[in-house]
Amino acid sequence: MKKALMCLTLIFLCQACKEEQETYPSIITEMADAYVNEHGVMFQIETDKGDVYALTNPQKDYKPNSVYRTLSGFVPQGPGTATLYQMKGVHILRDSTAIGHKDPTGILSAWRAGRYINLHLQPKTQGGTHYWGFTVDSVAQGKTWIGLHHKQNSDPLSYTQDLYASIPVDSIKAAQAGDSLIMTVATFNGLKTWTFKK
């Protein structure tokens, strides 16, 4: 009798777990621009793929009439709508050629999507302030060499932090449409290079 009860209990538990898994939403995580209206309400996101979603749960208390670069986790709810579940800020990298530093950092990936070159960085930090940007290092025959500007700023190399950053491709003024963008990043294991098209 005890064995039968234990078996039934296990069956119910397994069914409950299965139902819970089936009802839990599958969150899509993508780089996106998040738009804020004149009332400081974040009402819409646009992914790098060009998909636009009105938020079913608008977010309050943001800077009015602004656009935030984000790594957003959301679930589409129908044509053109989505529920936002999580959001992380993404650094917009500006042209820092005049003050360029090339302090090493960790980097997991770099990719071109929509209007941006995106970077998943892993700097080592003890909680200090780092400075980020990009540099234009050379331009010749349809090729523009760009580097990652990173100033460690005397922050000790302690623990690894995940950080996302984006370069708006249109802000690379030295490159023409169709040119090759050759990006070099100084890492703890030497230089890494990626090539994209403007």
Q: What is the pLDDT of residues 115-162, one digit of tens each?
A: 999 999 999 999 999 999 999 999 999 999 999 999 999 999 999 999
Beta bridge partners of 138: 145
Query: Which pLDDT value is given to residue 78?
Result: 86
What are residue 13's phi and psi, to 5 degrees? -65, -45
Would you list the domain boundaries of the chain? 28-89, 91-197
Name which of 148, 139, 107 is nearest 124 in CA terms: 107
Which CATH number does the domain 28-89 belong to among 3.30.70.100, 2.40.50.500, 3.40.50.1370, 3.40.630.30? 2.40.50.500
- Superfamily of domain 91-197, CATH level 4: NigD-like, C-terminal beta sandwich domain (2.60.40.2370)
Mean pLDDT of the chain: 91
- The answer to whether residue 20 scores a pLDDT higher than 60 is no
Query: Which pLDDT value is given to residue 11?
Result: 41
Query: What's the pTM?
Result: 0.85
Output the CA torsion sign for 130, 131, 136, 137: negative
Question: What is the 3-class SS of 26-43, one letter each residue?
Answer: CCEEEEEEEEECCCCCEE
What are residue 17's phi and psi, to 5 degrees? -60, -40
Categorize the per-residue pLDDT at 182 as very low, low, confident or very high, splitting at 50, 70 and 90: very high
Query: Which pLDDT value is given to residue 24?
Result: 63
Name which of 175, 166, 100 is nearest 135 in CA terms: 100
- The answer to whether residue 6 scores a pLDDT higher than 50 is no
Are 28-89 and 91-197 equal in CATH topology? no
Q: CA–CA separation, 7 vs 125, rounded Å?
A: 51
- The answer to whether residue 1 scores a pLDDT higher than 50 is no
